[in-house]
Amino acid sequence: MLYHSTTNPAHRVDLKEAILRSLPPDNGLYMPDTLPVLGPEFWAIWRELTFQEIGYAVAHAFFHEDVPAAALKEIVEGTLSFDAPLITLAPGDHILELFHGPTLAFKDFGARFMARLMAWLTRGEDRELTVLVATSGDTGGAVASAFHRVKGTRVIILYPKGKVSGLQEKQLTTLGDNITALEIDGTFDDCQRLVKSAFLDRELSERLNLTSANSINLSRLVPQSFYYIHSARQLPEGIEPVFVIPSGNFGNLTAGLLALQLGLPVKKFLAATNANDVVPAYLKTGDYQPRPSTATISNAMDVGAPSNFARMQALFGNSWEAMRGKIEGMAFTDDQTRAAVREVKSLYDYEIDPHGAVGWLAARKWRAAHPGNATITLETAHPAKFLDVMEQEIGKGVVEIPERLAILADREKVAIQLPADEAAFKAWLR
Ligand SMILES: *Cc1c(COP(=O)(O)O)cnc(C)c1O
């Protein structure tokens, strides 16, 4: 299979280049030349398959020309070492918990698959692969955990000093071994700029065998489509789910579109955002106006220029009408989100994190207008990751802190301090 750039379809590369390069030189996004479809033989038995079997079928549909079956099976099984349970709050109101992985956010699915696929693509090479990643919180932790002690790889995480939560920082800075954390005296945008400057330096990029682990990497999206199929089959036969996706860079929603393309029956996708409502506004007006992001309490969704937007457009043949036929956008304020956290707790005794709460609001609005519909809201992170908001809304000591997060509190932070300066960063890399 070859992969092309959304900006220039004539720019085509093989799987190894699409994954290790991450981004085409023309700033487009890589898409497979043909989008895979799962055949009738899969849809005849999909309700009886395990999560791992579904994952393998999807990964096989995408990668069978390039990765042998046995290797692919190992990659999928290594990725899916934890479940994604579907919880029912009330009839038709379902929550898909995606936070049972090592770092308690859905990003574990993508990061774990990517780490394993990259290790396979570079097997037998004696050059070490250097993975650079800029993070505003959750991505860095998931990537660090996924690559920790993976032979032949080294991970360098850049995070903005004082701008990630205490526990998030511990997830980045306490693993050691092949993981190095750089605490940058600047913003998340500075971190991204530094990463970009290293890639643009051909000599440095070649010498260190640099690769990127950000969310535009196709190998992070494919495994996220597994859980759309896995959850939909748990609804009664004949019910088409409405998927509700709390969104920032829209990688998760794009993965849902891949599942749709594979043949999954989906009634609608709801793109739920906080005040950063660039995509809901586009769906309403047809006018796409990216802008600087606004800070909210669902901060993993504070994105003003969603990086997967070009892929979403490509999946709908660049037609606004086609996209709005399948995706509906809804945006909610922080006050509404806080009220939803309280309401879900008091109505259902369920602790929903602020990101999931944005989704739940969209789901409720949809069901009110479409009685009888079943919504599946993606709960993208464990509420313990956003403890301050949870405590303000439902009280202290209510959210249980999972062991794997709690033990980090006593670990010692190890980070290298650097200014937000390209020359200093490159000198350090060299
Ligand atoms: C990253 C993240 C999101 C946004 O996901 P996208 O794929 O970027 O749209 C939502 N919630 C949480 C908790 C996240 O970490």
How far, in Å, CA of 174 to CA of 164, rounded? 15
Q: What is the number of structural domains in the chain?
A: 1
Q: If you average pLDDT over residues 172-185, what whole number do you get?
A: 94
Can you tell me which residue has the tokens 């954390």? 181
Output phi, psi for 129, to 5 deg.
-95, 130
| C-alpha of residue 248 to centroid of ligand 1, in Å | 6
How far, in Å, CA of 140 to CA of 133, rounded? 7
Can you tell me which residue has the tokens 């809304």? 393
Q: Which residue range forms the structural domain that includes residue 241?
A: 80-104+220-401
The answer to the question of residue 359 being in a domain is: yes
The answer to the question of residue 269 being in a domain is: yes
Length of the chain equals 430
* pLDDT tens track for 44-69: 999 999 999 999 999 999 999 999 99
Query: Which residues are within 8 A (CB) of 202 and not within 5 positions of it... i.e. 6 or more apart?
Result: none
Residue 138, ligand 1, Cβ within 6 A: yes
CATH number where 277 lies: 3.40.50.1100
The pLDDT of residue 91: 96
Ligand 1 pocket test target in 108, 224, 225, 247 with most atoms within 8 Å of CB: 247
Q: How confident is the model at residue 272 (pLDDT cuts 50, 70, 90)?
A: very high
* pLDDT tens track for 220-242: 999 999 999 999 999 999 999 99
Cα 266 to Cα 127, 241, 293, 313, 350, distances in angstroms? 44, 5, 30, 18, 26
Assessment of whether the complete model's pTM goes beyond 0.85 = yes
Based on the number of CB atoms within 10 Å of its own CB, is 48 exposed (0-12), middle (13-18) or buried (19 or more)?
exposed
Mean pLDDT of the chain, nearest integer: 94
The answer to the question of residue 346 being in a domain is: yes
Res. 309: pLDDT tops 90? yes
The answer to the question of residue 212 being in a domain is: no
Q: If you average pLDDT over residues 364-376, what whole number do you get?
A: 97
Q: If you average pLDDT over residues 112-137, what whole number do you get?
A: 91
The pLDDT of residue 66: 96
- 272 with 245: CB under 8 angstroms? yes
The answer to the question of residue 287 being in a domain is: yes
How far, in Å, CA of 210 to CA of 23, rounded? 12
Q: How confident is the model at residue 391 (pLDDT cuts 50, 70, 90)?
A: very high
Res. 215: pLDDT tops 80? no
The answer to the question of residue 4 being in a domain is: no
Amino acid present at 118: M
Residue 249, ligand 1, Cβ within 6 A: yes
The answer to the question of residue 116 being in a domain is: no
Residue 312, ligand 1, Cβ within 6 A: no
The answer to the question of residue 303 being in a domain is: yes
| C-alpha of residue 272 to centroid of ligand 1, in Å | 11
